[in-house]
Chain A
Amino acid sequence: MSVSAFLRAMLTTLRQSWAGLRQWPASDVAPLVLFIVFALIPVFAGTGAEIYLLSLFTRVMIFAIAALALDLIVGYGALVSFGHAAFVGLGAYAVGILASHGISEILLALPLAIVVAGLFAFATGLVCLRTKGVYFIMITLAFGQMAFFTASSLAPYGGDDGLTIRARDTLLGFAILKNDRALYYAVFACLLGAYLLCRAIVGSRFGRVLRGARENPIRMASIGFEVFRYQLIAYVISGALAGLSGFLLANATSFVSPAYMSWQRSGELIIMVVFGGLGTLYGAIIGTAAFLLTEEWLSGLTEHWKVIFGPLLVLVVVFARGGLVGSAAKLAHWLGDDPVGRGKESAAAIQADILRRAQALRTLASGHSARLRPLMHTCCNGAGRAARRLRDEIAGLSSQLTRRFRGG
């Protein structure tokens, strides 16, 4: 068997198995696999390197929450926040400051972290959201820097050097986060919750308005949506989620410092989101894992790992458009593409939609008064005719497509 024949056979097998998997949309499979892997890490990490792997993946999941929060506004709202590390830092400082006063109650620290970050997002969002594009990037950076310098000047709480937290937070006096494994699963639960929340938001009417405003804010405003309010709410949700990430970070590292809020940290968060693939949510999680694991791996190889990491970033941007998720989708597309099938699917969907609408119109008309009825019927018949015409046209196009691709 020649090499090329072998490769071709491999490719066929891959295509076929992929075709089976394709029935399930990638936006469901990928996060499912991801969360299963995260859930199983502590099981695999049962041997020697346990602490190391556990703490590494705890970090990954904590930053994944912040990246998710960022993806919610960058990917779905085109609001590129260059100061998101400030929200993480605020959440962390809420824990640190409470702890330095001897309060380490989750029921107090967690809501405080989220509320403080959310309030900061509300106050700054009122100003930031007046600007657009690169000006938005810079003004969020400005507020991030202000938070950074405020934290550096908090002399009673460590100033530049930061603040060590003696013990992790407790729930009603029980040290439930004391065990590293327990902390891991707590973080896991938070990430899962954050992901489901973001997904629900994105899929809701609110999320559709947000996406509409991303594509064309003027049009959204002209059809009656107050774009500013939607964006502000999204910004506050995102900030609050980042605050949650900060709460977890402070507990995981037992340390808080202004460095958590530095602009480099904000830049890294943006890289994580874009690395994975904007506007996919699970891409943010994948991107965070890829970023932190690559960093960990390279820094284990050589002291000068940044010489490799920098060009790697450039290469990813230049060659892998749409991040890791986008590249994977392109690969899948290439492996098991079925344009005719897709065309038929969408044609069928459009047909169904038109018919449904026509039916709805008819029902609407039949409910009206006798005087209106004839008029409505004329309208409906017109719509029905148009729908039929469209349906025929689509059917014609679809058979043309079939002929072109199948050579029939």
Chain B
Amino acid sequence: MSGGPQALPVAVGARREAIVGLMSLSLLLVQTLNGLQLGVLLFLIAAGLTLVFGVMDFINLAHGVQYMLGAYFAVMFYALTGNFLLALVLALLAALAFGLLLEFSIFRHLYDRDHLDQVIATFGIIIFLNQAVKLVWGAAPLSLPMPEILSGSVSLMPGLIYPVWRLVIITSGLAVAALLYGLVTYTRVGMLVRAGATNAPMVSALGVDIRRLFMIVFGFGTMLAAFAGVMIAPILSVEPGMGDTILILAFVVIVIGGVGSIRGAFLAALIIGLVDTLGRSFSVDILRLFMAPSPARTVGPALASMLIYLLMALVLYFRPTGLFPAKGR
């Protein structure tokens, strides 16, 4: 018994430290997975954006709206069919049809305009569709239930429980990335896409129907964005304007990665996803190492929100055309 009263607090302290250490380790793992999930989502959107931009030299701000529409279509078709997989497929088809309609009616007239005109016209489409969605489905946020089997959580390691659906997003996103890599690297269309991103007029001069190539690329990009929208809908609320924030993030991704480069977009998306998520959860703790707690609590969140922009400014300072520029200019 002697020495017990002194020894006990020490033991408790050590155990508490161990628990805190374990907790922050599992927190770090969870946040890393979250960052990965955000990165994969960003990649799905940025892939289409960077291809459309790289191949067609077309800045499509309305790409974020395609993501939103994907989510809304999924909610609508889920209400009709009651089957998530069916809703996913139908939503993708509907988004594709709508995207092609936009391409036919408006975008086609903008390809040979300068970037400013494209920015403004597609900004007009954003304004229109955000409001139109409000008119059709109401301003209140909607939700899309996830499939029953995938709705639970799974224990990845002792003390680390993670929702299955987020793992589904990560794996399906990585699968799409692999598929895209295969398509772009090993198929004829992929070869044309790569050639188009490097020098579109030359590809056209070699006798390729560049308009058809544009349409394929555009349709594919639209479906990828819609897919991202459907997959994230069970976690986020489906609401008007949900595409705006993600659009800016996707632009940050393609600029860091280098316009037109899928490889660059993939890497940049993962970097952005991780930096943003980890920055948000740990910035206050890290800052507290250097400063008093109360300013750290104020500065931390602000620093966390601007971290990715800081990163972009740094990347562009040292590599003014991004990490993997596709154009050989």
Contacts and interface: CB of A to CB of B under 8 A. Distances in A.
Interface of A: 74, 80, 127, 130-135, 137-139, 141-143, 145-146, 149-150, 152-153, 155, 263-264, 267, 270-271, 274-275, 278, 304, 306-307, 309-314, 316-318, 321
Interface string B307-329: 00110110011001110000000
Contact of A307 (B59, B128, B298, B313): B128
A138 B116 contact: no
B145 interface: no
A120 to B, nearest CB: 13
Interface residues of B, number: 45
Interface stretch (B1-9, B84-92, B247-255): B247-255
Contacts, number: 126
B309 A146 contact: yes
Contact of B302 (A137, A150, A306): A150
Contact of B312 (A142, A153, A309, A310): A142
Contacts of B321: 131, 135
B69 to A, nearest CB: 14
A153 B298 contact: yes
B20 interface: no
Given A139-B316, A267-B119, A307-B132, 6 more contacts: A130-B320, A131-B321, A134-B259, A135-B321, A135-B322, A139-B255
Contacts of B109: 318
Interface of B: 53, 59, 106, 109-110, 113, 115-117, 119-121, 123-132, 134-135, 244, 248, 251-252, 255, 259, 298-299, 301-302, 305-306, 309-310, 312-313, 316-317, 320-322
B120 A313 contact: yes
B116 A314 contact: no
B115 A134 contact: yes
Given A139-B312, A278-B116, A310 B317 contact: no
B66 to A, nearest CB: 15
B302 A153 contact: yes
15 contacts: A134-B53, A135-B321, A139-B316, A146-B313, A150-B306, A267-B119, A306-B127, A306-B131, A310-B124, A310-B126, A314-B121, A317-B124, A318-B106, A318-B109, A318-B121
B59 A134 contact: yes
Contacts of B132: 307
B313 A143 contact: yes
A127 B315 CA distance: 11
Nearest to A305: B131
A143 B312 CA distance: 10
B106 to A, nearest CB: 6
B135 A138 contact: no
A310 B121 CA distance: 8
A197 B312 CA distance: 34
Nearest to B126: A310
A131 B283 CA distance: 29
A146 B248 CA distance: 13
Nearest to B300: A153
